[in-house]
Amino acid sequence: MANSWWEIQIFCDTALDEVVFWRLEKFGCRGTSSQVKGASCLVAAYLPQQQASLLDLSALSLLIRQDALCVESSPPVVQWHLIDEEDWASSWKVYWQPQKVGDRFLINPAWIPEPEKTDRLILTLEPGVAFGTGDHATTQLCLEALEMRFSDNPQNVVIADVGCGSGILSVGAILLGAVQAYAVDTDPLAVRATRENIELNHIDPDRLTVGEGSVEQLEKMIREPVDGLVCNILAEVIIDLIPQWKPIVKLTTWGILSGILLEQAKPVADTLEENGWIVAALWKRGDWCCLNIRRS
């Protein structure tokens, strides 16, 4: 019994998956994964059996259904079953396969051999329990926006990654040609995942520095204001962070923001304008959007 785990599976609209991830994290799940098919998403999460009863799981299912109602999403299907401990750590990996993102990236799970012939940048990833596998629309939009930013081979670009998760955006920026990246996350597991992915992609750790914390930690890490800023979190968090960015940016700094539902774009844009930013472009995929911003 002590060596058994709950595998929780939620089949939902892609518009709900980030809320589902947040709900599962609050519930205490140790690992999550997702598989997107069209407008639907299968989210899997894992929790030691002794940490949740059947009543707890039923209550979680009810909360997720209520979340769906709040965002006017289709009712999700929530189910769970027990698996042995030796199976849980790898069972989620069957859902995640190599994926092309944008024109230049190939996201390759660390446990799958790299393709022998490809003209894409191979971004090897072991996300652990951190957000960011390249499967989610917000991550894809951010990577594609980074491609655009680096399409003219800009020199000596330094970026900051606020809420780095698995480090996928920071690693991607370095592969595209950024000379330096600084990444922070308030979750120590995300910091650990980012460090592991730095090593997996053979990146000099002096070029990609990661620390636990938020903007205050970035202020301690950077030598001077950065050229670019990426932030793929939730809209509510981004709105709180925007006023804090002033010490780490300059008049020419650009930004890439996602984790934002289309219906949340206006309050984010309003807060940006109040703090000296302009939304230069809005890209969308499904119910999600990515804001490409610059200083006003």
Residue 77: the pLDDT is 92
* pLDDT tens column, 6-43: 889 999 998 888 889 889 988 988 777 778 777 888 88
pLDDT beyond 60 at 89: no
CB of 65 closer than 8 Å to CB of 78: yes
Q: Kindly state the DSSP code that residue 275 receives in the 8-state scheme.
A: T
Structurally, what CATH architecture does the domain formed by 4-95 represent? 2-Layer Sandwich (3.30)
Mean pLDDT of 253-273: 95
CB of 6 closer than 8 Å to CB of 46: yes
Split at pLDDT 50, 70, 90, the class of 289 is: very high
Q: In what order do the strands lie in the sheet with 31-37?
A: 31-37, 40-48, 4-13, 77-84
pLDDT beyond 50 at 62: yes
Sign of the CA dihedral with 26 first, then 27, 29, and 35 last: negative
pLDDT beyond 80 at 272: yes
Highest mean pLDDT among 57-66, 74-83, 117-126, 200-209: 200-209
Residue 162: the pLDDT is 97
* Token pair listed for 184: 């922070």
* Token pair listed for 114: 């790299």
**99-295 has the same fold as 4-95:** no
Residue 246: the pLDDT is 96
Q: Output the CA–CA distances (angstroms, integers) from residue 102 to 31, 74, 95, 157, 256, in the order listed.
A: 27, 29, 21, 21, 15
Residue 131: the pLDDT is 61
Residue 1: the pLDDT is 43
The percentage of residues in the chain with a pLDDT greater than 90, rounded to a whole number, is: 58
Cα–Cα–Cα angle for 6, 7, 13, rounded to 5 degrees:
135
Helices (H), the chain: 17-27, 54-70, 85-91, 137-149, 168-176, 188-200, 215-221, 235-241, 265-274
Mean pLDDT computed over every residue of the chain: 89
pLDDT beyond 50 at 100: yes
Q: Helix, strand, coil: what percent of the chain each, to 5?
A: 40, 35, 30
* β-pairing verdict for 105-109 and 121-125: parallel
Longest dimension (CA), the chain: 59
Cα dihedral 263, 266, 20, 108, rounded to 10, equals 110
pLDDT beyond 60 at 2: no
* pLDDT tens column, 182-229: 999 998 888 999 999 999 999 999 999 999 999 999 999 999 999 999
Split at pLDDT 50, 70, 90, the class of 266 is: very high
* pLDDT tens column, 109-156: 888 888 888 999 999 998 665 566 777 888 999 999 999 999 988 889
Domain 99-295 fold is Rossmann fold (3.40.50)
Cα–Cα–Cα angle for 113, 165, 201, rounded to 5 degrees:
35
* Token pair listed for 274: 């109040």
Mean pLDDT of 163-185: 96
What is the residue extent of each domain of the chain? 4-95, 99-295
Residue 94: the pLDDT is 65
The percentage of residues in the chain with a pLDDT greater than 70, rounded to a whole number, is: 94
